[in-house]
Amino acid sequence: MFNNKTAIVTGAAKGIGYGIALALAKGGANIVMGDFDQATNEASAVEIEKLTGSKCVAVQCDVSLKGDIDLLIKSAIDNFGALDILVNNAGIFPFKPFMELTEGDWDKVLDVNLKSVFLCSQAAAKVMKDGAKIVSISSIASFVGFEGLTHYCASKGGINGMTRALALELAPKKINVNAVAPGSISTPGSSGVTDEQVKQFNEMIPWKRMGLPEDIANAVVYLASPGADYVTGQIIVVDGGWTLR
């Protein structure tokens, strides 16, 4: 499906990002894995190469810095000659009550979660050709509120708005722009969640389980594929039915 295609995945070292990188590599894509944790990123790249036979390059990257993003895009061109798929996955979700949020807390989350989508998408669009795909990872927190995550909810709502507007701007270039909004996903980032909290989450989900990285990866693979050529400006919710309640 993705033979001779090159994909960049941010926040690719573990969790949802790793699952996305693995799925795209299984489809035959070359992968450029951007992550702040370079040691884990390099180990994950080696692992994905062994599992899939696809080529993977690990690039240390702070997605809130334009210079790092420019180097990430350059790495795709230098190593593989093109950039066909961009997955804006990197994100953080530090819980903190709204009245205790500092300006620094707000800026950090908006920089990593939202400004990075702007920086990556703009830099990628400059080198992408017709038929390229941009997929961002939003969240059901863009549709429903969560206490202690006002800054996170705002950043993910911003991704949804940006996805729709950018889809219009890039339509003349035949670049599809979409997003996936995960629900509760079992990842290393959720390792601090207690068994009781998991049980409570599961009771809220019609499918009675937390999602897995591959659940999100499957949606990304579809949006990055030729089968989604006529799909743009959409946010696909993958939450086991949570937001239907």
pLDDT of residue 198: 78
**Which pLDDT belongs to residue 197?**
75
Concerning whether 222 is annotated as a catalytic residue, the answer is no
Pick the CATH number of 6-235 from 3.20.20.70, 3.40.50.300, 3.40.50.720, 1.20.1250.20: 3.40.50.720
pLDDT at position 188 is 67
For residues 88 and 72, what is the distance between their CA atoms, to the nearest angstrom? 12
Q: What is the DSSP string of the chain?
A: --TT-EEEEET-SSHHHHHHHHHHHHTT-EEEEEES-HHHHHHHHHHHHHHH---EEEEE--TT-HHHHHHHHHHHHHHHS---EEEE---------GGG--HHHHHHHHIIIIIHHHHHHHHHHTT--TT-EEEEE--GGGTS--TT-HHHHHHHHHHHHHHHHHHHHHGGGT-EEEEEEE-SB-SGGGTT--HHHHHHHHHHSTTSS-B-HHHHHHHHHHHHSGGGTT--S-EEEESTTGGG-
User: What is the structure's pLDDT at 204?
Assistant: 87
* pLDDT for 99: 98
Structural domain spans, the chain:
6-235
How much of the chain, in percent, has pLDDT values that exceed 90? 92
Average pLDDT per consecutive 10 residues, the chain (245 residues; last block may be shorter): 96 98 98 98 98 98 98 98 98 96 98 98 98 98 96 98 98 98 82 73 90 97 98 98 93
pLDDT at 189: 56
Whole-prediction pTM: 0.96
pLDDT of residue 200: 82
Of the candidates 18, 152, 222, 230, the residue annotated as catalytic is: 152
Question: Given this model, what pLDDT does residue 244 score?
Answer: 94
**pLDDT attached to residue 195:** 79
Q: What does the chain come to in residues?
A: 245
